[in-house]
Chains A and B, each alone.
Chain A
């Protein structure tokens, strides 16, 4: 492509593997590290044949000039990234920060809930609330003890951290709604809940807070292409209207979100996705998979 003949992309400066499916990439992009706010996301493209995928910014370090992405290998692109993204390699495209930053307002007592892929992206929100002077309880959920990560990071910026595991091997046994209920019961002054994770988990959190009438914000994760508001692929039903998650969100009032619609729309390409993954895995076995950047 034109411009920057020396531009190889955006350099990966650190990588950490949390489990066999979850990994962290720290990418050098000083301008973005400076601009990023809690709640924003990026669009990443691994190589010229790749697709554009949205990933929430899990952390940013203005001094080091880096942003951090925590990725779960669920399909072709994220598996391929897991295989080829090593320290010193480059992402072809990294655009952002995208979306409206989270509104960190005058809330005094906040619960930040992260489940599954949502544990990492809830971190900048928890930190931002803490920096704004709120009392912050983090509720983070994992399948089991071996998958727990960033507990120390949450402890460093939260007043309380409730770890939940499905099998009870660490912290509370059960999913994050168990932890959320415990947090709400313990502090009647909670005036906001923020939840990030799979839609089914965010929906469950919304149902916990709805009867208690506590303002609840979720970060939606619909299918995206451009991330700039020009295609409407990420449209979501909010109340009686339609919003584009990439420019109007991704944060929305959980009590207004039509989660069932979101879940159906997320399955739009499930057949194509399965086929792409199968083809890629076959290519890997035969050693004919496209190397990155080619």
Chain B
């Protein structure tokens, strides 16, 4: 038994994680951040003080047993750690990379509350476990007893994947419908390879297929068949809608329809999903030499960094508030700065200027300052009179958010909220019995992990709706005969543990 760790005895510094040199990486699409080595993972594991009442678990939207998996790692059992994580999160290699941990698990870590200490790098440890699992071909496939229920999932993004995994584990026959020719949703079309390589998505989807989940691509639900048809003639007992937000917003300023003004979604889809950045692919990709990206969320950061990697000489970020209000992850802003992105904080676009042939010539902007706090307590930006200026650019990428995608609303009688998103109750049930929804199509654009959390919550409600026992806690490997004596599963709640001596 190791000596009890305290805040005083743990390593003070985080394990150093290696990153590609900024000058080099700004010209390639390889991953920026390397995976921890086993030695580095050990150092980071040692920094966890194994709190009796861990805040990190509450900070995780899907409630991964963080202390449990770190304890396995501390014991040198990476496989065991993988099994603990995958009880609640089937996509550790994805979440370890893209979650905003500073607002979630790591934000709640006790170590991080101590003076001068950074929280345990839970995300990096999760990625270490996920990557090790992929490298070794591990999967955590529980024994699944088919229950005869048929479940349809609309959309193969993070929400759909998480819901599909839970329903498959509960024994349902699950089919995921995807409108694109490849599954993965935003993980595929949006997040670039330097943050999340396609090989990781493929590996995680292959794991879902091993659970029996079927993916059907090239299916646009709402048009090829409707939600009502799924519940009716197609015989689905329950349906989950996780179609995402989509429908990008444009700034509504003069010139925003010029050639050379495009949404970040379009740029990223062409670059990532259609692989236009690679040689030998047919999809054209608009490449700017001087680029302005409007917005400062994670999508904007991806667009900025993609443009840099595509060879732009100058890439500017235009954001009307200050750095402190930027919705992007701190790490992403930091990485972008290192790569030479020019941040124009407190600046709003006023007009896109034409070169006379319908192309972008320049962007006119105005400086802003933060005014009095509004009703929500956020200081709203107000223009500074007489501060307008122009700068030459040939590509303007818009990343200022999205609206609800209208297809499901156009083609079914499902109830929508005022903003056009799908209306649900607290259990994520929609106005159509048996139909649940979650992720961006309910809340508007949010994060990958929040979408996954919603997918899992919806799965819990769907299981209740179908009258299935909640199987959330029973994903451990089949116990030995001793543990199963008298047919009792020790993991079952209320089961009296019987030992045969």
Contact = CB atoms under 8 A, between A and B. Distances in A.
Interface stretch (A45-53, A163-171, A174-182, A194-202): A45-53
B247 A235 contact: no
Interface in B242-266: 244, 246-248, 250, 257, 259, 262-263, 265-266
Interface stretch (A129-137, A210-218, A225-233): A225-233
B416 interface: no
B266 A232 contact: yes
Contacts of B270: 225
B215 interface: yes
B328 interface: no
A77 B206 CA distance: 31
Contacts of A230: 189, 244, 246-248, 265, 269, 402, 405
Interface in B381-402: 402
Contacts of A231: 248, 262-263, 265-266, 269
Residue among B205, B247, B357 facing the most chain A CB atoms (10 A cut-off): B247
B59 interface: no
Residue among B180, B218, B259, B286 facing the most chain A CB atoms (10 A cut-off): B218
Contact of B257 (A40, A92, A265): A265
Interface stretch (A110-118, A147-155, A267-275): A267-275
Interface stretch (A17-25, A96-104, A185-193): A96-104
A264 B217 CA distance: 33
Interface stretch (A58-66, A82-90, A241-249): A241-249
A35 B244 contact: no
Contact of A93 (B217, B284, B286): B217
A228 B407 contact: yes
Given A1-B182, A242-B257, A228 B209 contact: no
A35 to B, nearest CB: 5
B219 interface: yes
Interface string B176-187: 000111110000
B209 A233 contact: no
Nearest to B260: A268
A227 B181 CA distance: 12
B438 to A, nearest CB: 18
B183 A2 contact: yes
Given A3-B214, A265-B257, A50 B223 contact: no
B181 A95 contact: yes
A265 B270 CA distance: 17
Nearest to A290: B280
A48 B12 CA distance: 49
A94 interface: yes
A2 B244 contact: no
A154 B37 CA distance: 69
B17 to A, nearest CB: 30
Place the interface of chain B in its size category.
Answer: 35 or more
Interface in A1-43: 1-4, 31-32, 35, 40
Contacts of B266: 225, 231-233
B9 interface: no
Given A2-B202, A226-B269, A264-B259, A235 B179 contact: no
A232 B262 contact: yes
A231 B217 CA distance: 19
Contacts of A265: 257, 259, 358
A286 to B, nearest CB: 15
Contacts of B180: 95, 226, 228
A45 B247 contact: no
Given A242-B250, A264-B358, A50 B282 contact: yes
Given A49-B281, A50-B282, A95-B179, A261 B220 contact: no
B224 A229 contact: no
Nearest to B256: A242
Given A49-B282, A265-B259, A35 B248 contact: no
B225 A269 contact: no
A267 B259 contact: yes
Contacts of A278: none
A233 B284 CA distance: 12
A80 to B, nearest CB: 9
Interface residues of A, number: 48
Contact of A2 (B209, B274, B284): B209
B410 interface: yes
B358 A228 contact: no
B405 A228 contact: yes
B311 interface: no
Given A3-B217, A237-B257, A52 B407 contact: no
Contacts of B265: 230-232
B216 interface: yes
Nearest to A101: B223
B289 interface: no
A56 to B, nearest CB: 14
Contacts of A50: 282
B283 interface: yes
Contact of A229 (B182, B215, B274, B407): B407
Given A3-B214, A232-B250, A265-B259, A248 B406 contact: yes
A284 interface: no
Residue among A92, A227, A230 facing the most chain B CB atoms (10 A cut-off): A230
A255 interface: no
A268 B286 CA distance: 9
Residue among B259, B269, B282, B407 facing the most chain A CB atoms (10 A cut-off): B282
Contacts of A49: 280-282
Nearest to A264: B358
Contacts of B282: 49-51, 76-77, 276
Nearest to A265: B259
A268 to B, nearest CB: 5
B318 to A, nearest CB: 18
A208 B280 CA distance: 45
A44 B259 CA distance: 24
A68 to B, nearest CB: 17
Given A49-B280, A98-B223, A247-B407, A1 B257 contact: no
A272 B262 contact: no
A244 B205 CA distance: 31
A116 B410 CA distance: 31
B284 A40 contact: no
A249 to B, nearest CB: 12
Interface in B178-205: 179-183, 189, 202, 205
Nearest to B249: A232
Nearest to B282: A51
A269 B281 CA distance: 15
A267 B358 CA distance: 9
6 contacts: A2-B205, A92-B181, A98-B220, A225-B270, A230-B402, A231-B263
Given A232-B250, A237-B257, A267-B358, 15 more contacts: A31-B225, A32-B224, A49-B280, A49-B282, A50-B282, A77-B282, A93-B218, A95-B219, A226-B269, A227-B220, A228-B246, A229-B406, A230-B247, A233-B263, A276-B282
The 3 A-B residue pairs with the shortest CB-CB distance in the complex, in nearest-first order: A230-B246, A264-B358, A231-B266
